[in-house]
Amino acid sequence: MNEARIERAPGFRIDDPFWSHYLRMVREVMIPYQWEALNDRIDGAEPSHAIHNFKIAAGRETGDFHGMVFQDSDIAKWVEAAAYLLESERDPALEQLVDEVVDLIVDAQREDGYLNTYFTLKEPGREWTNLAECHELYCAGHFIEAGVAYHRATGKRKLLDVVSRLADCIGRTFGREPGKLAGYDGHQEIELALVKLYRATGEKRYLALSKYFLDQRGAKPHYFEQEWEKRGKTLHFPQLSMVHEHTYSQSHQPVREQSEAVGHAVRLVYMATAMADVALETGDEGMKAACRRLWESITAKRMYITGGIGSMEQGESFTTDYDLPGDLAYAETCASVGLIFFAKRMLELDGGSHYADVLEKALYNTVIGGISLDGTSFFYVNPLEVYPDVLGKNKNYNHVKAERQGWFTCACCPPNAARLLASLGDYVYRTREDTLFVDLYIGSQAEVELKNGLVKVEAQSTYSAQGQVRLTVAPSPAQAFTLALRMPEWSDGVEIRVNGKILEDPFVNEDGYMRIQRIWSAGDQVELCFGMPIRRMKSHPLVRQTYAKTALQRGPFLYCLEEADNGKRLYQLRLAESASFRLEQAEGLPGDIPALVTEDGYRLRLGEAWTDQLYGSGGQAARDAARLTFVPYYAWANRGIGEMSVWIAEGNL
């Protein structure tokens, strides 16, 4: 029997010329599509088995477990995403579906609180014996996130109670005390989830358990080796080295001592997210410092210009400083989702706009670039350069696709992107005492709580396309607070009007925010008009793959060349150092984001005499004028299979 919804006003509703498209897509396409996928009803796609596994575990159906060892987490992420949708807009049919899933989860949970269909069905009795590889705590973490989200959205406690029992089961099992397992998960996730559960329930034991998992990580002797010995050296993924390669799971060192972003990118950012959460809750300076070092390592040395992270397919991993190949990039969509989680926590911990800049970069480029414009297909891997002719022939590119795929055997990215987009409202504002921070400029209605009371905020925004935002506040009653407006790193200046009156010399604070302090009354308006130059971006001199090449950026969007506009053999194109651009309306892009077009490009052409020989002393290359059209990176691969490149070499005309 389903419990009653506790009616509450929607906290946040997005109405934005760019983002509404994505929210609509999540609601109307992705969540229904993913529901069908979880129920194995998508023709031609690998069946998920996720719901079926639960039905077997709940005793409602018979059969065997199928799917990855972490298949359960797809359901958890779907519930979480659905919860965020329900939070901003009622949808009784969707809520009914979620309630049914919650009942299924209730039935699949064991008496002692344990919840994992893989072990319940396939390896009963071997629970908690292979943390390195088997994702039990990872899946638990996702259920906890779902339970917290659904409670926040509807006030319904059933799933929150389920995941609290699950967390208590975990708490009884893990710890340094005698009789407990002094382990931690191979794939971090439980740590950040437990902080959410702590915040939702106020139960400090969940925060302590999160802190335990973080602090225990990397202890010697190594837990993954110990449990491996103990279980007879069996492996779940024999082709991988999750047990012995400790950098892969960031368990090579205690987390407080880590300074470099190594190993599996998603794991790293999920871990760092929890570290920042715990640092915020506890004020732990050592943990804070480690968060800052990891942030620096990622964003100053190991991140693609699109906000993608993880330079190599092997281990879905970071490699080393300044090693950022565009064609071999892994840059998993999930890793950029995780980077956004981490950025959000760093904003809360440290409050500098550079965190929001990275958050915005990952969101506007890699995350939505992972989704087709119609919401039905997805990239797992987000390269910065693709030559389709070589795919399937040179196996170094086996992970790279030139077109988005319907669903994946390891289907982590689509539901992860969905839950992020559905909760986008969480990333727009922050409050601290009497200051309202505006981190993202997304058209929306919101209600935020400041020191002196509730404030309604409406944002009307053409920020994505034109850099303009109008904020209307409605405190009730009138109250003094500070509006802290993020100055995006890509902007060369801003004009601000308060109730129509220009603000002279807006001052950007050291933290990257411009502050307006006053007593605000209902209807007060702030208008922002950000300068939105076309920026010719360069990479750090130590990034050899893109050295002295240019990538174009306008506003939060990185751009790329596509074969559809520029013909084949993009590597032959050059951009004049003096090129000027015009904005050209591109058809069919959300929010009417323009294309960038220049006549100041050229195509190098080797001597006329070049015939069939592979090498020759053919003399200098000639230059044929070429119009170059750059489209936003997020929109690539929506016009059939073709070449793509973010970076272009420069030259003199």
Q: Which is nearer to a copy of itself, 398 or 476 (CB)?
A: 398
Please compute, for residue 355, the number of CA atoms within 13 A of its CA located in the half-sphere on the CB side: 27
In which residue are the tokens 């399937």 written?
392
Interface with a copy of itself (CB under 8 A), residue total 59
Tell me the closest approach of the beta carbon of residue 612 to a copy of itself, in angstroms.
6
Q: Which is nearer to a copy of itself, 6 or 542 (CB)?
A: 542
x-or-dash string of contact with a copy of itself, 264-293, rule CB under 8 A: ------------------------------
Q: Which residue from 259, 394, 409, 585 is in contact with a copy of itself, where contact means CB under 8 A?
A: 394
For residue 510, what are the contacts with CB-CB under 8 A and spacing of at least 6? none
Q: Which is nearer to a copy of itself, 542 or 625 (CB)?
A: 542
Sign of the CA dihedral with 315 first, then 321, 325, and 330 last: positive
Q: Which helix (H) or strand (E) element contains residue 514? A: strand 513-520
Near a copy of itself by CB under 8 A, which window of 273-281, 467-475, 570-578, 631-639?
570-578
Tell me the closest approach of the beta carbon of residue 647 to a copy of itself, in angstroms.
11
CA distance 134 to 155: 32
Amino acid letter at 238? Answer: P
Structure tokens at 647: 């970076």
CA distance 16 to 462: 8
First to last CA, the chain: 73
Q: Which is nearer to a copy of itself, 23 or 266 (CB)?
A: 266
CA distance 377 to 386: 18
Q: Which is nearer to a copy of itself, 187 or 301 (CB)?
A: 301
CA distance 476 to 521: 8
Tell me the closest approach of the beta carbon of residue 320 to a copy of itself, in angstroms.
4
Near a copy of itself by CB under 8 A, which window of 58-66, 183-191, 279-287, 308-316?
308-316
The answer to whether residues 153 and 86 touch, using CB atoms and an 8 Å cutoff, is yes
Active site residue 316: yes
The DSSP code sequence of 287-335 is HHHHHHHHHHHHHHHSB-TTS-B--BTGGGB--STT---SSS----HHH
Tell me the closest approach of the beta carbon of residue 570 to a copy of itself, in angstroms.
8
CA distance 278 to 259: 18
CA distance 287 to 586: 46
Near a copy of itself by CB under 8 A, which window of 48-56, 86-94, 139-147, 309-317?
309-317
Q: Which residue from 271, 305, 484, 589 is in contact with a copy of itself, where contact means CB under 8 A?
A: 305
Active site residue 296: no
Q: Which is nearer to a copy of itself, 247 or 452 (CB)?
A: 247
User: Among residues 412, 413, 529, 560, which one is catalytic?
Assistant: 412
Q: Is 389 in the site for a copy of itself (CB under 8 A)?
A: yes
Q: Is 577 in the site for a copy of itself (CB under 8 A)?
A: yes
Binding residues among 603-642 for a copy of itself as defined by CB under 8 A:
604-606, 610, 612-621
For residue 202, what are the contacts with CB-CB under 8 A and spacing of at least 6? none
Q: Is 315 in the site for a copy of itself (CB under 8 A)?
A: yes
Tell me the closest approach of the beta carbon of residue 432 to a copy of itself, in angstroms.
27
Crossing angle of the two packed helices 190-201 and 136-154, in degrees rounded to 10: 30
- In order of 89, 134, 511, 530, 531, the CA distances from 590 in angstroms are 22, 40, 31, 20, 21
Binding residues among 497-556 for a copy of itself as defined by CB under 8 A:
535-544, 547-548, 551, 553
Q: Which helix (H) or strand (E) element contains residue 484? A: strand 479-486
Q: Phi and psi (nearest 5°) for 317?
A: -125, 160
Near a copy of itself by CB under 8 A, which window of 311-319, 342-350, 433-441, 505-513?
311-319
Binding residues among 216-245 for a copy of itself as defined by CB under 8 A:
239
- CB-neighbour burial class of residue 249 (10 A; exposed 0-12, middle 13-18, buried 19+): buried
User: Among residues 80, 95, 316, 563, which one is catalytic?
Assistant: 316
Tell me the closest approach of the beta carbon of residue 5 to a copy of itself, in angstroms.
46
Q: Is 395 in the site for a copy of itself (CB under 8 A)?
A: yes
Structure tokens at 172: 């009884």
Amino acid letter at 570? Answer: L
Q: Which is nearer to a copy of itself, 173 or 598 (CB)?
A: 598
Near a copy of itself by CB under 8 A, which window of 1-9, 31-39, 318-326, 413-421?
318-326
The answer to whether residues 209 and 174 touch, using CB atoms and an 8 Å cutoff, is yes
Binding residues among 114-143 for a copy of itself as defined by CB under 8 A:
none
Amino acid letter at 45? Answer: A
Q: Which is nearer to a copy of itself, 60 or 605 (CB)?
A: 605
Binding site for a copy of itself (CB under 8 A): 239, 299-301, 303, 305, 311-315, 319-320, 323, 325, 328, 387, 389-390, 393-396, 535-544, 547-548, 551, 553, 569, 571-572, 577, 604-606, 610, 612-621, 649-652
**Catalytic annotation, residues:** 316, 412
